[in-house]
Amino acid sequence: MKKFLVENLGRNLENWPETNWNFEELTLVAFYFHPSLEVARAQWLVATAGIKTAGARPNPSVSVSPAYDSQIPGNYSPWLVPVTFDVPIETAGKRGKRLAEAEKISEAARWNFVSAAWAIRSGVRNGLLDFQIAGRRVEAFGACSVGADQRSRKNES
């Protein structure tokens, strides 16, 4: 994790492990550990590979299969060995349509990845804000309890 932070922060971390974390560091740690980001990245890579697959031309094929025909006159054996060549021809721009669809799917997967990263960042921001607000509430509660103690001492005297 330290290597990941150093690479993405662009600076060296002298005090490791960190005792005080800022928002940027916490966000990078969340990116490092959060599984939904890896899932979204894998989906994006699969969709990107789909573009290459969609652009491929279908392969021609050759097949050899035995056949039986006893109606051929003068043939010394009723068994034949026919050879079949299949050359697929795509018409009506099917390849272009497949490519366009695969590119749209890849773009959607990329935006899904960006959305996952943004959701993780938003969760870190909300958690950090909740932590800061809780700290301020504790300080305010401590100040109120000190004031209440002082008032109760005045009332006792």
Residue 11: its pLDDT value, please?
75
Would you say the C-alpha torsion 141, 26, 29, 38 has a positive or negative sign?
Answer: positive
* Successive 10-residue mean pLDDT values, the chain, 157 residues: 72 75 82 90 95 90 89 80 90 91 96 95 92 88 71 68
Q: Cα(107)–Cα(20) distance, rounded to whole angstroms?
A: 38
Q: Cα(60)–Cα(84) distance, rounded to whole angstroms?
A: 11
Residue 157: its pLDDT value, please?
62
Residue 42: its pLDDT value, please?
96
Backbone phi and psi for residue 144, each to the nearest 5 degrees, phi listed first: -65, -40
Query: What tokens were used for 124?
Result: 């870190």
Of the candidates 93, 124, 107, 114, the one whose C-alpha atom is nearest the C-alpha of residue 24 is: 124
Residue 40: its pLDDT value, please?
95
The one-character DSSP state at 3 is H
Residue 83: its pLDDT value, please?
92
The SS3 of residue 86 is: strand
Q: Residue 113 belongs to what H/E stretch?
A: helix 94-156
Q: Which residues pair with 80 in a beta bridge?
A: 67
